[in-house]
A and B are shown apart, each in its own frame.
Chain A
Amino acid sequence: MSFFKKLKEKFQTNQSNEEVSDKYKDGLSKTRKTFSEKINDLVARYRKVDEDFFEDLEEVLIAADVGVSTVMDLIDELKMEVKRRNISDTKEVKSVISEKLVDIYYGDSEEESSVGLNMQENELTVILFVGVNGVGKTTTIGKLAHQLKSEGKKVLLTAGDTFRAGAIEQLSEWGKRVEVDVIKHSEGSDPAAVIYDGIQAAKSREADVLLCDTAGRLQNKVNLMNELSKVKRVIEREIPNAPHEVLLVLDATTGQNALSQAKTFSEATDVSGIVLTKLDGTAKGGIVLAIRNELGIPVKLVGLGEKVTDLQTFDPQAFVYGLFADMIDDE
């Protein structure tokens, strides 16, 4: 079955998916057209599959920040595939394209549904948030805390950003907003020590989830990355198998540097998933395809705004669709 058909069916049959897709539509493509209309438009737009078509596709994907080499590879593969299967009908090409795009995200792995968070049953789950400055770590923690709490979990936050001015107050404010406790030390104190205290508090208060904030840092600052490794070691030492998730928060507005971020943060903290934030803007965050492709790290959550409810699980198909939605929407 073609990707579009699959997608269409999925949206037609599943109510909650429809909601997700609406969120995505709002966040990713900013259009009021229905999904099937868009597909029709896309098919109608290109009568011939020629150099112009591939050039357009290349531009659309590059404009979405999909990594340059990923795009070049993809276009090459597509051209080969079209030749191999002797396709000239645009409709057919569309399905090859969507297959390939989805392939890029999934790679060799079998799973086709979105990957959820690794939550422990009846045990403390520790989630560590890492990333460069200003990507949305603290905000995501606030949103996730709200989400988990509304699922009935007991959530605790730790203010591991002891560096940036006002960072502790920021997390505390989120704690107040979503009504969960925040473990904190004073500004300038050792982040590993706060995290340690957070773990002890979570244990003694029998919390279900501990969300650990950390200070933003650029990945080329070696000593700051070492500091982060140390924080992770403290968690590992206190709880076997923890942290259960290390979430790298990426700003969708970021370009190719996100790949370098993913690489270096993985080396330092063994990142298990990505949170892609600010998808409510006009940036597409296509670089996560390259990250998934080269490093195998899945996106787990997406940020679609600044409100507590603006956090969604990642839907790869809707995401991939959003990448080339411009090809459909633009005149």
Chain B
Amino acid sequence: MAFEGLADRLQNTIQKIKGKGKVTEQDVKEMTREVRLALLEADVNFKVVKDFIKRVKERAVGEEVMESLTPGQQVIKIVKEELSSLMGGDESKIAVSDRPPTVIMMVGLQGAGKTTTTGKLANLLRKKYNRKPLLVAADIYRPAAIDQLETLGKQLNMPVYSAGTDISPVEIVNQAMAKAKEEHLDYVLIDTAGRLHIDGDLMDELIQIKNNVSPDEIFLVVDAMTGQDAVNVAESFNDQLDVSGVILTKLDGDTRGGAALSIKAVTDKPIKFAGMGEKLDQLEVFHPERMASRILGMGDVLSLIEKAQENVDEKRAKELEEKMRSASFTFDDFLEQMGQVRKMGPLDELLDMIPGSNKMKGLKNVEIDEKQISHVEAVIQSMTAKERQDPSIINANRKKRIAKGSGRSVSEVNRLLKQFEEMKKMMKQMTNMQQGGKKGKKGKKGKGFNFPFM
């Protein structure tokens, strides 16, 4: 599917940018382009996406990134933070009126799932809050909508107020209120007919009901599969009725659910619950964090980032870089570097993770052979502590011993030693060049240089 391609590409860009020691504007541009596509594929409204990307860009080229030692990760973090803040926090409370009954009105487009959700909500109110709800059948338009609610009432063994289809919904609701008071039912859930937000007459009907009974909650019920139009629908319903919250339905499907983000963005009303199936107990508290990951299709990516943030100790990384600069970098440090990277998983990030390595042009686009890395590790591990600290003491005999211990050839040991020396030299040069100012940019740093595992 189209989306998998996008998710992959997004993941690749993230991988690429993640370990970078320096993030260019081009990097940010590339990254935000993929994020943009992923969001659009997920049905987030294009205007919402536009604002979002703008904010990410602004922050990504700002100081917090530039001054960080791991700017790549910083950028990812920004994406995640912005996405989560756009999604809002957990808010699953339902109003309780101090003068019962508490009135809840369900509104939304046709086919969004209002009636089923009314049943689910009633079930939740009874089960979790020990309430006694009355269901009100105020959809007089759709054929058998009343039958549907009555059937649900039977399944739940709960009272349903209905008065046929020859009476106005406004009147039905008034009568239902009287009945609820009379029978000491503490919640009134009004199932209204689905309608288009641009249908003036039917919207007026809702406004009239609202004015009559002053609901404590007006829930806008929205299908999670809704596309770009979600903003128009949500904005319009909210403008006309000032809804108090949103319920997202059919989230048990395989939609990315970007509509959630759009709705939150244009209404700033909390998404409180999510429908997760057709059964009456399948209404769940909505989790904005999870939704953010789902929308970007990067549940895995995000956890990878989190792992990277956990495992790479910024302070330690700084120390190592310091060592490299001062050329006191030893094989022990080198081993530790590789170990740190390995903890994170994919080895092709190794290069990027070594502080400063991405600053060397010649090192771009090189293939890293995993086996080679194990070999290098084996060779280093076969060295004594002294040898690791000071490779200059490694004579022919020692080389033979190391080769035997690691199961590699002497020439391989030789090559590693030579490359390590070159690497240190390189580091020193580079540091000098950097300290020498812009000149370094044109220097031949990194040219012809190879890391021991390439």
Binding site for B on A (CB under 8 A): 30, 59, 62-65, 67-69, 72, 132-136, 142, 163-167, 169-170, 172-174, 177, 187, 218-220, 251, 253-260, 263, 278, 280-284, 287, 306
Contact = CB atoms under 8 A, between A and B. Distances in A.
B197 A164 contact: no
B40 interface: yes
B449 interface: no
Tier of interface size on chain B? 35 or more
A218 B253 CA distance: 6
Contacts of A134: 110-113, 223
Interface string B238-252: 000000000000101
A136 B111 contact: yes
B197 A282 contact: yes
A306 B109 CA distance: 12
A256 B155 contact: no
B278 A169 contact: no
B2 A255 contact: no
A304 to B, nearest CB: 11
Contacts of A142: 143
Contacts of B259: 255
A23 to B, nearest CB: 16
Contact of A170 (B147, B149, B150, B254): B147
Contacts of A259: 1-2
B111 A257 contact: no
Nearest to A166: B148
B13 interface: no
B232 A256 contact: no
In the A-B complex, the 6 residue pairs with the smallest Cβ-Cβ separation, listed nearest first, are A255-B227, A134-B111, A166-B148, A173-B143, A255-B43, A165-B151
Most B C-beta atoms less than 10 A away, residue of A136, A166, A174: A166
Contacts of A170: 142-145, 147-148
A254 B226 contact: yes
B52 interface: no
Contact of B43 (A219, A256, A282): A256
A148 B57 CA distance: 56
A170 to B, nearest CB: 4
Contacts of A257: 43, 225, 253-256
A83 B420 CA distance: 52
A62 B44 CA distance: 10
A260 B3 CA distance: 10
Contacts of A172: 144
A59 B253 contact: no
Contact of B147 (A163, A166, A219, A284): A166
A266 to B, nearest CB: 13
B227 A187 contact: no
Given A68-B40, A135-B111, A218-B250, A63 B147 contact: no
A78 B32 CA distance: 24
B196 A281 contact: yes
B229 A283 contact: yes
B141 interface: yes
A141 to B, nearest CB: 11
Given A136-B111, A306-B141, A62 B250 contact: no
Interface string B120-155: 000000000000000000000111111111111001
Contacts of A163: 278
Interface string B245-278: 0000010111110110000000000000000001
Contacts of B146: 166
A282 B233 contact: yes
Interface in B187-201: 196-198
Contacts of B258: 255
A63 B228 contact: yes
B41 interface: yes
Contact of A280 (B6, B43, B145, B196): B196
Interface string B1-42: 111011000000000000000000000000000000100111
B142 A260 contact: no
